[in-house]
Structure 1
Amino acid sequence: MPLFKISNPGMAAFHIAIAALMVGTGTINTLAAKWADKLRSHGYNPKPKHAFDHPYFQAAEMFLGEMMCIFVFKIWFFYRNCRKKDMSIFGPQKFIPIVWAIPAMCDLLGTSTMYVGLTWTFASSFQMLRGSVIIFTGLLSVAFLGTRLKIHHWFGMLFVLLGLILVGVGDTIFSHESQSASHYSLAGDLLIVLAQVITAVQMTIEEKLIKKYKVPPLQAVGWEGIFGFSVLCIAMIPMYFIPWHLPQTRDIWQQTTRFEDAVDAFYMLGNNWQLLFASIGTVISISFFNFAGLTVTSTMNATTRMVLDSVRTIFIWAFSLGIKWQAFQALQPVGYFVLFIGTCIYYDIILMPLFRYALDKVRHRGNETIDDEVSIQTEPGKEAEEGAPLLKKHVQEKEVIRATKED
């Protein structure tokens, strides 16, 4: 399966541009969120500067970015509707938006859990471990959608699992931080993997809803953003009054704090322009990332989107090493390579097509050998009469082989 179906040079340039936009905004989104985790600022009280430990507030920022997709969709809808009525663009427009509250709640739980894990582990590990969604999505699609996975799907999931183990072991064994910090890196990794289970449930529900209601994906993302942002904003009110003990934090005085202090988060944004810039970058990048991802899916294919999502991992890892957010770990590039191989096998690209191509070449050479054996040179007279039965036998064998191959 080709990753890029290009019909003319103009479309080739468009495909390259939209793919670069997806990889770029996806990379910025993860790095901006991790940058915010590393920045310090004054909150609403006179206490000293402290770290931006507000994972649920960051999840709300993510939903705000998704909510912006509904405005992009409306603009696109009116633009296309003025030109021609294309149902594939704007759908039937007759559905109950509340149904998207279910995947939105899954998105809320998954995103919040991921951001808690991100505060404890590396940005590169965060992105790599998100690849585990392949395993859980595959298993859930079998259980609830009746999908029949082929052998390459199972092998792909096996490679992804091996890659996840390598990344997790690398974060634990080769961490240059204290033993306690390395344990929390592993805990962060486990939280991210747990979030992928929730994300897999979300994707399974989304697939069923999109097929049932024929809703454009961009509109679906927008509605999920609306529901997720609204629910999380309401939930952060009781979170403010719930005391919370953090056994592992970057500030001792923060060990006893609130479950989520949105007031402190707003004050921190106002007191540090870099933190505000990182938060705005998170909101804008996720909006463009969703737009680019859905455009890749519609103009190319979903396989290309998943491969590009895997490719951005190497940019996040390289950037994190370059600015010394993390030290080099020998198992991490190995784990990433195994994860990438697993992704390629699962989505039937590069490796499996090459394997089938080589197998076809071997079979083709075998058929040529049979053809050479059938081409028996006979001379007029007695030798031709003796060779005729043998020639007939070879021709019959050749026909049987060809008939078997066609079946």
Structure 2
Amino acid sequence: MDHRVFITLLFVLSGTANVILIKWMSIQMVEGSDRKKHSFQHPVAMTLLMFLAEFLFFGVYKLISAVVSRRGLNAEQDHILTRGSNEFHPLVMLLPAFLRTLTSILLFTGLYLTYATSFQMIRGLSLIFVGLFSTMYLNQTLSSRHWLAIFTMTCGIIDILALDVQRVDYDYTTLHHKDHNTILTGDLLVIIAEILHAFLYVYEEKHLKAADLKPIQASGWQGFFGIIITALAAVCLNFVPSAVPFNEGSRGVFDDLTDIIPQLRSNIMLILALIGFACSCAIYNCVGMSIAKFSSSGNRLLADGIRVYFIWAFVIFAEWEIFNLITILGLLILQTGIVMYRQAIFLEWYRSTLARWQRIRYMDMNADAVPTPSSQPADVI
């Protein structure tokens, strides 16, 4: 199997796993420190766990480097995980760590308040802002087809938001709060997070390519800074009173850390889900940075958009959501815009059709032409 196909498949499957695991954990009702049932909603603690798993990748990088370096002086450049410059400034990953802390908390909270399919489809919105930020920081240009694709993707997002407001009245298996304002709040949090994500992707692509950074090393340092930033945020948000629907803990705060140990006690499935979530997030970020370095942020988002089909198939099979044709329509509109933005497939269809028609016309003209008599001798003919 081609390594590019393997990397894309690993990226899609790890991203699918972390969305499904987060949503599954958020619908679990477990006993908190006050002996009452609460949903397992800890966006800050899960962000901290995600960064901890990424920081462990730094140890994996050191181990791989030690093994590969024994093969020769240039052996590191032949291995995809260790390929890159040895001159690395860790502070470059400080801003991405801060942005990922903020976006992860927003995304985990938004996923708790909305549907898993809507969550993933709205995440396709980041491609729009990646294009806009790329014109400012990567000296790229947007043509008329790019703007048409942006308009198409916007129409798909509007269709998804309108459907969420309607189906919350009858499709609420995975929703704890069944009102229009709550689900719109969840969708809005995802949109805000994707704007920040777009800037994060462009920033990572610029520095990964300009400084020839090693993705696994950059992911490890990002995890290190993320642990520090998220730990400070966890201490603060553990004491900040919150309103509904952000106060699912025993003490009515944004993220009640005192509930985690009682909720995990004797709950092996929840513990295994957290371990799987941490591993999938670490793999997803590291592989995503590799795609951004060796390809582009746009292709990273294009590959990320594939997992919406896996998530949609899973939630329908698990009966988390009701099959809805309007959801399929919004997904098709959104995917049409994404394909149009990245590959201009419809423009290529038009050009190939026009070229084929011109070839056929030219062949017909040659067939209808009357042959002229030749003045050359017969033996020459």
- Using the size of structure 2 for normalisation, the TM-score is 0.85
Question: Which one of the candidate residues 33, 37, 46 is aligned to 2:34?
Answer: 46
Structure 1 residue 267 displacement after superposition: 3.0
Counterpart of 1:266, as a letter, is I
Counterpart of 1:327, as a letter, is I
Instruction: Specify the alignment match of 2:166 in structure 1.
Output: 173
Instruction: Specify the alignment match of 1:123 in structure 2.
Output: 116
Give the Cα–Cα distance (whole angstroms) in 2 for the partners of residues 304 and 247 of structure 1: 35
Cα distance change on mapping 1:189 and 1:236 into 2, 3 Å? same
Q: How does 1:4-403 map to 2 (within 5 A)?
A: 11-12=1-2, 16-43=5-32, 45-84=33-72, 85=74, 86-87=76-77, 89-175=82-168, 176=170, 181-247=179-245, 257-293=252-288, 305-348=300-343, 350-368=345-363, 377-379=371-373
1:174/1:329 contact within 8 Å kept? no
SS in 1 for 2:242: strand
Structure 1 residue 18 displacement after superposition: 4.2
Counterpart of 1:194, as a letter, is I
2:130/2:298 contact within 8 Å kept? no
Cα distance change on mapping 1:349 and 1:266 into 2, 3 Å? farther
Could you tell me which runs of 5 or more consecutive residues in structure 1 were left unpaired when the two chains were aligned. Answer: 1-10, 385-407
1:36/1:278 contact within 8 Å kept? yes
Cα distance change on mapping 1:218 and 1:182 into 2, 3 Å? same
Could you tell me which runs of 5 or more consecutive residues in structure 2 were left unpaired when the two chains were aligned. Answer: 377-381
Structure 1 residue 362 displacement after superposition: 2.8
Counterpart of 1:121, as a letter, is T
1:25/1:285 contact within 8 Å kept? yes
Q: Deviations over 1:17-44 (max 9, x none)?
A: 444333322211100011110112222x
Q: Quick check: which one's helix share is greater? A: 1
Structure 1 residue 237 displacement after superposition: 1.3
Cα distance change on mapping 1:83 and 1:358 into 2, 3 Å? farther
Structure 1 residue 305 displacement after superposition: 4.7
- Using the size of structure 1 for normalisation, the TM-score is 0.80
SS in 1 for 2:179: helix
1:106/1:199 contact within 8 Å kept? yes
Cα distance change on mapping 1:203 and 1:306 into 2, 3 Å? closer
Cα distance change on mapping 1:245 and 1:29 into 2, 3 Å? same
Give the Cα–Cα distance (whole angstroms) in 1 for the partners of residues 220 and 359 of structure 2: 51
RMSD over aligned Cα atoms: 2.9
SS in 1 for 2:129: helix
Percent identity, please. Answer: 28
Counterpart of 1:82, as a letter, is R
Give the Cα–Cα distance (whole angstroms) in 2 for the partners of residues 77 and 110 of structure 1: 31
Structure 1 residue 319 displacement after superposition: 1.3
Cα distance change on mapping 1:356 and 1:67 into 2, 3 Å? farther
Instruction: Specify the alignment match of 2:379 in structure 1.
Output: none
